[in-house]
Amino acid sequence: MRHTISVLVENKFGVLSRISGLFSGRGYNIESLSVGETTDPNVSIMTIVTSGDDWIIEQINKQLNKLLDVIKVVDMSELDHVEREMVLIKVAPRTEDKAEVLRLTEIFRGRVVDSSPKTYTIEITGDEKKIAAIVELLRPMGLKEFVRSGKIAIAREAARKQP
Amino acid sequence: MKITGAEIFIESLKKEGVRHIFGYPGGVVLNIFDHLYDEKDLRLILTRHEQGAVHAADGYARATGKTGVVLVTSGPGATNTVTGIATAYMDSIPLVVFTGQVPTMLIGNDAFQEADIVGITRPCTKYNFLVKDVNDLAYIIKEAFYIAATGRPGPVLIDIPKDVTTGKAEFVWPESIKIRSYNPTYEGNKYMITQAAHMIAKAKKPVIVAGGGVILSGASKELKELAEYTDVPVTMTLMGLGGFPGSHRLSLGMPGMHGTYYANKSIQESDLLVAIGMRFDDRVTGKISAFASNAKIVHIDIDPTSIRKNVRVDVPIVGDVKKVLTTLNKVLKEEVKETWHEIRKAWLKQIATWKAERPLTYDRDTDVIKPQYVIEKIYELTKGDAIITTEVGQNQMWASQFFKYDRPRTFLTSGGLGTMGYGFPAAIGVQLAFPNKLVIDIAGDGSIQMNIQELATAVINKLPVKVAILNNGFLGMVRQWQELFFQERYSHTRLDASVDFVKIAEAYNAVGLRATKRSEVEPVLKEAFSIKRPVFMDFAIDWQEKVYPMVPAGAAIDEMLFLEENKKTEKKLKAVK
């Protein structure tokens, strides 16, 4: 099963290598990995999408926790959470498809962030399904390339109790 | 007052209570070596190879329980330590390894003798550091010693660029270390411990499997108390030998691939396994799906990743073995009232039958030297009062089978990584820590040649280690597999008996002795033990001798081959293959 794991790490050099080395050394799978700052400049957060059965996921969690630079590991898949990914798509549509490309961008609440006489570069944010859908829809319309950011995730706050 | 990085290095080691460093000099560590020149309280033992230095520090650490310290130069000096570091990492041995590095300015430049040792050792150290600022040096050293020795111990590497050794800073020694992301669990969960106590009380056929964690946490006394109080037999993994007395009535010897019949039988038939400070290595479990299928498993380990890594566990207890066992013993005595002796009687009787049925054995009626005979004689002559190190292969297995280790830290072997060339330098480290102890490396003619240069270190430092070379002219364990599973095709395992170990010993100004028949074994051993110098003993053993019992790779641990049915079973096995 696929899991999204958030890993809070010390913002030191070599940390990314320790984490990726753990995955490659033990034969775990990384589907995507993204790293960024947090409110504390000394701390970074990594969002790792991985897959495996319960045994493997348990080991991944424990092995991550064992790394000295890892402060906290949260398996987002066990919590109510929000996931987002961003994709930048470059399309070179035929003239008759241009309007459709722009319309799709709008439907998917995306933006055109760059345009040239022959191409549009479109930015779309969403969960995995949405990204997959837009990519598929644009594929026949001159899709040239796309770059995905990897997934990021955050836990939802517990709903406030009704008085 | 500001002092140089080299001086901070020296002062920090003194603050840590270090007395001995094993090392080898080189360009970028010259400043540190220059300060060691006048040093009275800090002695550097110059080995003849950096790998030897790490194994020596490892032996020193295993025998004393202190953290071993290594100092080498950059590039090849650093890369030569990797095998030693990986050996210590697999067996959870605390080491701090200092490597020199090219000046900060040149890092990444492919400078002369530059190697990215921090990158190289990342997967085989518990942690590693590159010191970029001399102001951080003291803190990092303190941190490294703290990390190496706490939690599940392991090697830590500190890479020090040359300019950091010459740069100046105030020497500030931190009082204590706090790492927010590193908080090992020492106290076991009380509820789980109580669960375990009740399971031990109810079990009709329990077995304790004790590993290296018992020795590392100093829990031999607590383990003995547990076993004796509850009348549970104990099997010790290779790393656990000595953690529980081998001559104890409840000892089952070692389990696994070359374990005793009765240890493996007991595990397979048990209804409760109490695994203590061990990690269910494949050499212990054999075929996992057929391992202890009827047993509930209680697993005590300080490293959560060891639990449920290989086998299912019913009661996991994360904590320091000594602390957990102390609580467990208390709970058992206070809360659980059982008449152990009655409910265990049948089980212990069954085990006694297994012991009588198939004891460890070899052909005793022959004039050729059987390796097991040499080990038995060493045990007999020393009365077990010696520290034994081993190389890897047949020598290691015979040493684990035919010598009974009654005290912790008296059997040192590369268990996890299986490093040939470990035993001799390790013995040198042990001898340095215990000058008056009899320290014996049980070696093969293959392994000893992997670090034979350290004989110079032993001679020059007057360290009278004894090396018993079980010389069969082969890489024996690999040959054994070739005989059993590869139709006796001895591909590249024949070493030829052309090396004269006696002459090698003499050339190094050590003593060389030789025995070619059984009757010469005892006199050679006696003579060696009476000489206060390093001795190589060359025992020309039966080259065809194999280690039995043996569980073929991939088989369940009770599917063993035995000496008696040697030929018969081998034939059958070949047919199967």
B432-481, pLDDT tens digit by residue? Answer: 999 999 999 999 999 999 999 999 999 999 999 999 999 999 999 999 99
Distance from CA of A62 to the nearest CA of B (A): 5
Average pLDDT over residues A86-115: 96
User: Does B139 touch chain A if contact means CB atoms closer than 8 Å?
Assistant: no
Residue B112 annotated in active site: yes
pLDDT score for B577: 46
User: Does B304 touch chain A if contact means CB atoms closer than 8 Å?
Assistant: yes
Nearest by CB to A21, which of B123, B304, B305? B123
User: Which of these, B27, B88, B83, lies nearest to B61 by C-alpha position?
Assistant: B88
Find the length of chain A. Answer: 163
User: Which of these, B509, B512, B371, B379, lies nearest to B444 by C-alpha position?
Assistant: B371
- The list of chain B residues with pLDDT below 70 reads 497, 565-577
- Cβ within 8 Å, pair A58-B119: no
Interface of B with A in 101-130 (CB under 8 A): 118-119, 122-123, 126-127, 130
Residue type, B225: E
Distance from CA of A88 to the nearest CA of B (A): 33
pLDDT score for B574: 55
CA-only gyration radius of chain A, Å: 19
Q: How much is the ipTM here?
A: 0.90
- Cβ within 8 Å, pair A68-B126: yes
B contacts of A17 (beta carbons < 8 Å): 119, 122
pLDDT score for B341: 80
Residues of A with CB under 8 A from a CB of B: 9-10, 14, 17-18, 21, 25, 55, 58-59, 62-63, 65-66, 68-71
- The rounded distance, in Å, linking the Cα atoms of B481 and B484 is 5
Q: At a CB cut-off of 8 Å and minimum separation 6, what does B498 contact?
A: none
User: Which of these, B478, B418, B467, B464, lies nearest to B441 by C-alpha position?
Assistant: B467
∠ Cα A96 A97 A100 (to 5°): 125
User: Which site among A12, A15, A57, A62 would you substitute to test the B interface, given the most B Cβ atoms closer than 10 Å to its Cβ?
Assistant: A62
Catalytic residue among B2, B39, B105, B112: B112
Distance from CA of B159 to the nearest CA of A (A): 14
- Bridge partners for B99 per DSSP: B72, B159
Q: At a CB cut-off of 8 Å and minimum separation 6, what does B125 contact?
A: B85, B89, B97, B154, B155, B156, B157
Distance from CA of B481 to the nearest CA of A (A): 28
- Cβ within 8 Å, pair B122-A69: no
pLDDT score for B497: 67
- Cβ within 8 Å, pair A62-B118: no
- The rounded distance, in Å, linking the Cα atoms of B392 and B316 is 32
- Cβ within 8 Å, pair A59-B305: yes
Distance from CA of A156 to the nearest CA of B (A): 24
Spell A127-148 as b/e; 16+ CB within 10 A means b.
Answer: ebebbeebeeebeebbbeebeb
Residue type, B337: K
Residue B50 annotated in active site: yes
Chain A to chain B Cβ contacts (< 8 Å): 33
**What is the 3-class SS of chain A, one letter each residue?**
CEEEEEEEEECCCCHHHHHHHHHHHCCCCCCEEEEEECCCCCEEEEEEEEECCHHHHHHHHHHHHHCCCEEEEEEHHHCCEEEEEEEEEEECCCHHHHHHHHHHHHHCCCEEEEECCCCEEEEEEECHHHHHHHHHHHHHHCEEEEEECCCEEEECCCCCCCC
CA-only gyration radius of chain B, Å: 24
pLDDT score for B529: 98
What's this model's pTM, rounded to 2 decimal places? 0.95
- Cβ within 8 Å, pair B181-A68: yes
User: Which of these, B47, B163, B150, lies nearest to B103 by C-alpha position?
Assistant: B163
pLDDT score for B565: 61
User: Does B288 touch chain A if contact means CB atoms closer than 8 Å?
Assistant: no
Nearest by CB to A68, which of B123, B127, B309? B127
Distance of CA B477 to the CA centre of its chain: 18
Nearest by CB to A68, which of B182, B305, B309? B182
Chain A residue with Cα closest to B302? A66
Catalytic residue among B9, B16, B22, B50: B50
**Could you give the dihedral angle defined by the CA atoms of residues B81, B84, B85 and B90, in that order, rounded to the nearest 10 degrees?**
160
Question: Interhelix angle for B371-382 vs B394-402, to 10°?
Answer: 40
Q: Is the peptide bond before B549 cis (omega within 30 degrees of 0)?
A: yes
- Cβ within 8 Å, pair B180-A25: no
Nearest by CB to A21, which of B122, B147, B305? B122
Query: Tokens standing for B355?
Result: 């012991």
- Cβ within 8 Å, pair A58-B181: no
pLDDT score for B564: 73
A contacts of B177 (beta carbons < 8 Å): none
Q: At a CB cut-off of 8 Å and minimum separation 6, what does A136 contact?
A: none
